[in-house]
Structure 1
């Protein structure tokens, strides 16, 4: 088109004036053009233009349709008039002719600069941020032109005054997006030819010199590059001459070569298949090649994924090594929307180290690990809940098969399976469960099953159904019931499933019926009397005694003999108590000019009197534990999982004192007129104890102390300890004499104490709010499909292995924790006092050397053994679409060095370069 036509309104009118009447009838839009560019309203056009408007300047009068009807016949016309002869005259109706190749849907278009219609040439021209919509197709470009005769729409870009290309054509069709230099689309065949295009499919991008789009949206590309880098000039790509895209299924190519920064590499593949499907698809999981110093060369994490429908899938993965080690893991997951979801991991491993011909250097281990997680939607069955979190396996599984930091430093694993039911409108609650705890270092295992609790919430039997006025004191009497069933076995993991495991099983049941009520006194005091009855049921009775003739070893004679008696045994206990509690407030105000406004101290003293008769004397005996006939009083049910009644009678006083300390300081950040801020100095500090008036000795109990605070909202501090007010003799045994009676100014001997501190510091995260929203959305999403379940598993991996998923948006981060514990107690079997101090400090953090380099460290120090704890160091480099990580475990039983370079996109997670070295010291 000649440039003289653009924005020339008068010339355009002269050429189309004679054909204007026919255009009005045939074309359902009005052309609005002017001498200067301005936005146009959205219009529609179709292919009736070529047939409805003749290509000549004379006007064409549409042929009228005339209908004549007899009297009494309804002709369904717009209007009618009847003459005196009875004939009906009908208004004429004009029906325009419709072209045979008219489109089956309207086309909406608009342009920011101008729209020009060339009637003789049967062409449309759109200039300036033009856009066209037809069915599911949405096309935008700087310039467009449409040929009415061929039905082809062409979209191109343009250059601004600086020579920069603007307005590249972008086509969106049913979720597919194409960005190109030139695009031609045929409305009749619905095919397109696209030049220098860039399209996105899931996480991948395809760059093609020429692309053909078929009517069924199948794409054929020529001279292509596939990449997951979102830059116009990608850092890497797989170059292939021909490529085919099946929408929502696959990207298939012929022979392809990997290019990095535009440089071809020696890596060629005969073909490539990149899935772009949504939802489940079964397929092969390619293995990863590794080199292990102890296991040899190997292939890891290879397997197959089985998509079994909406509610179930299964992942099988295996490892195999050249020295004979292997492992297999089956991971089924299941889900039902609004009902339940969960996942199971079953792993078995066979490890072989060294040469079998050299027994001293050969190690063989067979291990297993079972994990299971199940959760139930709370709305599925109101009042009923079932959940499971199982982690069980052999103690050496982590030693040979797990290499991440958080798992290897954790020696304790546990499991819990619970079922609970609450009766709607009833005060009953039932909980059944299975619990398991395991220490991987000592190989001790404890399993409790069945483990049940039945509770009747407090009911008020003397309270009327409708309360009127102030309730009477007896109307506040409340009665409740609690029953606990325990069945537990503690053993070494090597005895699992054997007779010794069942021999170690203990069973017990406890019933508790408390009766209580409260009476306010003087508005500031609360008096709370109560009665508590407990009954214990046992199935095993234990007796221990010293035998001089017992052979412990060939060099030692004499030891403790333990015997068991099976049957049904019961014990009971009852107590009566009354308590009085209140709160006392104290305030100290400073001067007006002081930055500290005031300090408030809150004391909450509690005192109670209780009486418990001696109903347990028959359950205790004197246990002699050495040749000197030293003894202690123990119960036949000592060590029972439900406990034993306390020995002797008790009639005395229990006391406690809790403190809270906080202050008000001046703060400019406070938007109120007071400009004050509350600072907690002590969240809690207290002491508890009791005095037995009816005991013949040792009337005063041990003192329990505790303290907790959070300084500056940064440092968490908690401490606890126990003071024994009685002195000891030369062998560490308690004597009925207070410590302060020996001339010492002290409440007692410190028998145990602990203190822990923790804090965390980090720089501001620029994208913190967006990340938290994403994490919250992942956590709140129902596991209705496998994709969401996979996202949640990846989220958990990020939390458990921070070294593998570093955050480059946080310049630095530091976490510190310190713990100290002290014990000083008499061990009866050893006949002496053992003092033990353990303290440990742990630290982990990272910092950015540059915006793209990150260095991190996870470590600690054990002051008891004076050695550095398990340490993991890592360095990460952000390579935009790739990431490099270097991990180092420099010392310890397990040492490792590895370097990994891999793409960030999940679809290419198996395309990685990994080199690792692992060393074991046994």
Structure 2
């Protein structure tokens, strides 16, 4: 019997020089001398006994399928087949030497441009020149990569080029985190790493650290680190220096003692510790630091202090406040909200309690002002059959002129605030029905009068063609007859600032409902004329009417309100006839102007409305009762009252367009170029067939209006004039005498106006990258900067020039090629008045705004104008701005006028460090 003392085992795995690795495991052979000698004795002595034994004829063979281990099987002698061999359990214990796990859990891919060297003795793989290694979510690129597959580590570093300069710095990427160090040492098993001079981008921050220890996938410890928002982290214009940092990518940075360094010079600005949120998914809530200001009439102040609430992914809230040492204060609540494919909007509420001077002084005053703005837009994808929108701007009439936190001259000069909230829905019935609810608001900031409709209901039904056949063809007078139904309901309120939302405001409301049913048709007449006729039925319902009489006690005529339902009904008839006439004037193919095309669209209309005297009553206008006048009890109604006289009017309209064909400057083009000479030239007037020549005149004034675009469509020109055929008497009243018969011309020009708007830029092909002055326009001002830029005192980081950032190389190249970006806007307005033969220029003003890049880093702008009637300079503002890379500095100055002020700002552009700034502004004493 041959017995093995120990299990002899060798496990070798061949390795190919490729991209996939398999671990090489060795188990040594057991060579015990005692076992060899013992084995020799057994072979010598025991061989005779083996051959002298008898064997039985019955033998039991061992199936090959059960021979799982050759070391446990006894091999019988081939000469003695009768011996029964019994399988015995091996007394040798299982080998206790544990097999090593594989080097890596996944495949490793690598490549290098020069060589990939494998040292099996040292268990190293070396990749040189443009080396790349990929394993799981790790990507490593570097000049040299050394992988130790015994220690489960990899090392990457830079290499020197032919001139001895370090190049091919490592680029280590794991998931979304990217680190660009000088060198890195990484363990694949523990996921820990040591990084030297690491550089990484985290949100708006760029971080560089002398030594970085990667504890795990989510925690880094940095030593001697600097972080900045500058584009160049190696040579930043400023940075924050700290010795110890705990960094959690995408979440936060916590530092120890931190010192601010500007231009490599340490500053006294230091913090014992600092915390910087760096969440990418949602904005974080946080404190908004205030800015310091002072005022001659209100004392020292802290402005725009508050807190930002990141309530959810769909909406947020910013609470800001101002406080002055004389007791003045202001509060603002600003919220934005949005839901994809549903809606978006924002809501702002502003309130200020203003105190001027000190109690006891003659100039002491106290008042409260407020402003509410709401903008909402519904996405049409959410429901194509309904829509909801809101544009609200209401509040105190003096808010934009007296606010302590607004610097918007365009809004100050505006005399109207307006709002609109509307909801509409379409019902897919037959016929289709559309419904809309609208609430409007219009406020005159000079008179403080407010007009509101709360609400207006509009219901309309699609046209019905009762005489159309089964083929659906609408042709001819009869088949084109159609009717509609429209309903309009209004609740109108006229009030003032002082009565806004007080009970009296609602008591004075006017309510009414108007029903209209137009019956109309259109058809062709004599092939070239388009004719239309309509009959309109109108019915108006009121809940209030009036009774007018002379009150002896008050010695005046008074109106008494009568509550209760009342209605009136009217009807009218109208028709029109129009055509289009084309005319072309050819000058020849050899001329520069080849032809001029004139298109005329004349239209003749007629309208008739009978008298509805039955809705009129009489009243005595004096105490004697001898002066009797007529009135309608519906006069105070929101839809007016029916007329008490016939209206029999003939109208005439003529529109013209002029277009020319000229030779194109591009000689390669065969076809002539089309040029628009006049976009429109319109004339309109009317003739009253029932005019008596005393109380009414037959001809109405002729209104002429037109417009065109010049200088490559960059200049918009609009003009208009009113021409009266009648003369006037010494008191300025129109009389029934034609002006030409009174020694004048055919028409007397009573008024005229012209406006020109011209915008040019150094970029002829591309429009200037200026954003619209959205907030100014929303507040009621202009969208351009002719009245200066809108200054948001709550956030001064945005450029006052409203331009997108340009590439630094582009700026420098433009500077050295003498192509400095600039833009200019002109606006000219001229108004002529001659109602009473004054022949006077009522308005004549020129406004100009210009902005230019003086150097690649300096911008300058001016807004100014001149009033030729008042002979004075209009609003003037100077603007300067310096681009300090990651910082921005600006200065604006309004030197004179009621809005004279100046402002200076310097601060970091990045939003995460927006509180690091110095903002100093003067305030107008309003």
Counterpart-to-counterpart distance in 2, 1:485 and 1:223: 73
User: Who is 2:417 aligned against?
Assistant: 413
Counterpart for residue 813 of structure 1: 823
Are residues 1:668 and 2:665 paired?
yes
Separation of aligned partners in 2, 1:245 and 1:185: 18
User: Matched residue of 1:69: which SS?
Assistant: helix
CA contact (8 A) 2:797 2:907 kept: no
**Is residue 2:205 matched to residue 1:204?**
yes
What is the match of residue 366 of structure 2?
364
Contact 1:256/1:272, CA 8 A, preserved across alignment: yes
Mapped contact 2:239–2:261 kept (Cα < 8 A): yes
SS in 1 for 2:900: strand
Instruction: Determine helix, strand or coil for the equivalent of 1:517.
Output: strand
* 1:704 equivalent in structure 2: 703
Q: TM-score when scaled to structure 2?
A: 0.80
2:81 counterpart residue number = none
Match for residue 57 of structure 2?
none
**Which residue of 1 is the match for residue 38 of structure 2?**
none
Question: 1:266 & 1:623 partners in 2: Cα distance?
Answer: 87
2:41 corresponds in structure 1 to none
**Mapping of 1:435-834 within 5 angstroms?**
435-467=440-472, 471=475, 473-502=477-506, 504-540=508-544, 563-567=559-563, 568-615=565-612, 618-619=615-616, 641-645=638-642, 648-669=645-666, 672-674=669-671, 676-697=672-693, 698-712=697-711, 713-750=713-750, 752-764=751-763, 803=800, 805-806=802-803, 811-822=821-832
Assess if the C-alpha contact under 8 Å between 1:132 and 1:140 holds in 2: yes
Deviates more, 1:649-658 or 1:124-133: 649-658
Partner SS state of residue 518, structure 1? strand
SS state at 1:741 partner: helix
Q: CA deviation at 1:482?
A: 2.0
Deviations 1:341-380 (A, max 9, x none): 332222221122212121x222322112211222222222
Secondary structure of residue in 2 paired with 1:850: coil
Q: Kindly provide the CA deviation profile for residues 811-834 of structure 1, in whole angstroms up to 9, marking residues without a partner as x.
A: 1111122234456669xxxxx999
Contact 1:508/1:539 (8 A) holds in 2? yes
Distance 1:171 1:763, change over 3 A: same
Whole-Å separation in 2 of the counterparts to 1:394 and 1:169: 62
Give the whole-Å Cα distance in 2 for the aligned partners of 1:834 and 1:710: 29
Q: Which of the pair is proportionally richer in strand?
A: 1
1:770-824 deviation per Cα after TM superposition (whole angstroms, max 9, x unaligned): x79x99xxxxxxxxxxxxxxxxx99999999862645575711111222344566
Q: Deviations over 1:488-514 (max 9, x none)?
A: 222321221335434543333332222
Cα distance, 1:260 vs. partner?
0.5
> Aligned pair in 2 of structure 1 residues 168, 836: CA closer, same or farther (>3 Å)?
same
Structure 1 CA distance, aligned partners of 2:791 and 2:17? 56
Report how far residue 483 of structure 1 moved: 2.1
The partner residue of 1:327 within 320, 327, 330 is 330
Cα offset for 1:590?
Answer: 1.6
| Corresponding residue for residue 341 of structure 1 | 344
Task: Write out per-residue CA displacement over residues 829-868 of structure 1, whole angstroms, 9 at most, x where no aligned residue.
Answer: xxx9998923443322211211111111233444554443
Q: Secondary structure at the match of 2:691?
A: coil
What is residue 887 of structure 2 aligned with on the other side? 882
Alpha-carbon RMSD: 3.8
Q: Is the 8 A contact 1:621 1:636 kept in 2?
A: no
Q: Which stretch of structure 1 is more off in the superposition, 642-651 or 729-738?
A: 642-651
Match of 2:241 in 1: 239
Which segments of 5 or more consecutive residues in structure 1 lack a partner in the other structure? 1-20, 32-42, 56-65, 72-96, 552-559, 776-792, 827-831
In structure 2, relative to structure 1, the CA distance for the partners of 1:915 and 1:483 (3 Å cut) is same
Retained in 1: the 8 A contact 2:545–2:636? no
Q: Cα deviations across residues 729-764 of structure 1 (Å, max 9, x unaligned)? A: 2222222222222232223452x4433221211121
Q: Is the CA contact 2:758–2:826 (under 8 Å) kept in the aligned structure 1?
A: yes
Structure 2 gaps, min length 5: 1-9, 30-61, 68-97, 773-789, 807-819
Aligned-residue offset at 1:608:
2.6
- Structure 1 counterpart SS, 2:186: strand
Partner of 2:861: 856
| Aligned residue number for residue 128 of structure 1 | 129
Higher deviation after alignment, 876-885 or 472-481: 472-481
Structure 1 pair 484–840 and aligned structure 2 pair: CA distance change class (3 A)? farther
Q: 1:262 corresponds to which residue?
A: 264
* Mapped contact 1:450–1:487 kept (Cα < 8 A): yes
Larger Rg: 2
Determine the C-alpha separation between the residues in 2 that align with 1:833 and 1:816. Answer: 29
Contact 1:539-1:569 at 8 Å conserved across structures: yes
Number of the residue aligned with 2:316: 313
1:169–1:119 CA distance, 2 compared to 1 (3 A): same
Q: How does 1:26-175 map to 2 (within 5 A)?
A: 26-27=14-15, 30-31=17-18, 43-45=19-21, 48-51=22-25, 68-69=64-65, 99-175=100-176
**493-502 vs 273-282, which moves further:** 493-502
Hey, what's the Cα distance between the residues in 1 that align with 2:440 and 2:485? Answer: 23
C-alpha separation between the residues in 2 aligned to 1:812 and 1:736? 57
Quickly say closer, same or farther: Cα 1:801–1:707, change in 2 above 3 A. farther
Question: Shift in Å at residue 437 of structure 1?
Answer: 1.4
Instruction: State the SS of the aligned residue for 2:915.
Output: coil
Confirm or deny: 8 A CA contact 2:796 2:905 kept in the other structure. Answer: no
Match of residue 8 from structure 1: none
How much does 1:430 deviate?
Answer: 0.9
Residues 474-532 of structure 1: CA distance to partner in whole angstroms, max 9, x if unpaired?
11111112222222222321221335434543333332222221221333221222222
1:29-59 CA-to-partner distances (Å, cap 9, x unmatched) read 544xxxxxxxxxxx344xx33437999xxxx
Shift of 1:388: 1.3
Cα distance, 1:234 vs. partner?
A: 0.5
Cα drift, residue 909 of structure 1:
1.1
CA distance in 2, matches of 1:705, 1:321: 55
Match of 1:907, SS state, is helix
How far does the alpha carbon of each residue in 1:247-280 deviate from its partner, in whole angstroms, 9 at most, with x for none? 2210111111110010001111121111110204
861, 886, 899: which one pairs with 2:904?
Answer: 899
Task: Determine the C-alpha separation between the residues in 2 that align with 1:684 and 1:54.
Answer: 102
Report which stretch shifted further, 661-670 or 501-510: 501-510
Question: 1:93 maps to which residue?
Answer: none
Equivalent residue number for residue 787 of structure 2: none
Q: Work out the CA distance in 2 between the residues paired with 1:293 and 1:68.
A: 109
| Local SS of the residue matching 2:912 | helix
CA shift at 1:908, angstroms? Answer: 1.0
Deviation at 1:545, TM superposition (A): 9.9
Q: How many residues align?
A: 812
Q: Is the 8 A contact 1:670 1:677 kept in 2?
A: no
- CA offsets per residue over residues 270-328 of structure 1, 9 Å max, x none? 21111110204222222223333433322222222223333443221111222222111
- Residues 855 and 280 (structure 1 numbering): CA distance in 2 closer, same or farther, change over 3 Å? closer
**Counterpart pick for 1:397 among 393, 396, 399:** 399
Instruction: Tell me, in whole angstroms, the C-alpha distance in 2 between the residues paired with 1:883 and 1:148.
Output: 51
The Cα shift of 1:99 comes to 4.0
Distance in 1 between the 2:658 and 2:616 partners? 45
The structure-2 alpha-carbon separation of the partners of 1:687 and 1:845, relative to structure 1 and needing over 3 Å to count, comes to same
Alpha carbons 2:615, 2:642 under 8 Å: kept: no
- Match of residue 53 from structure 2: none
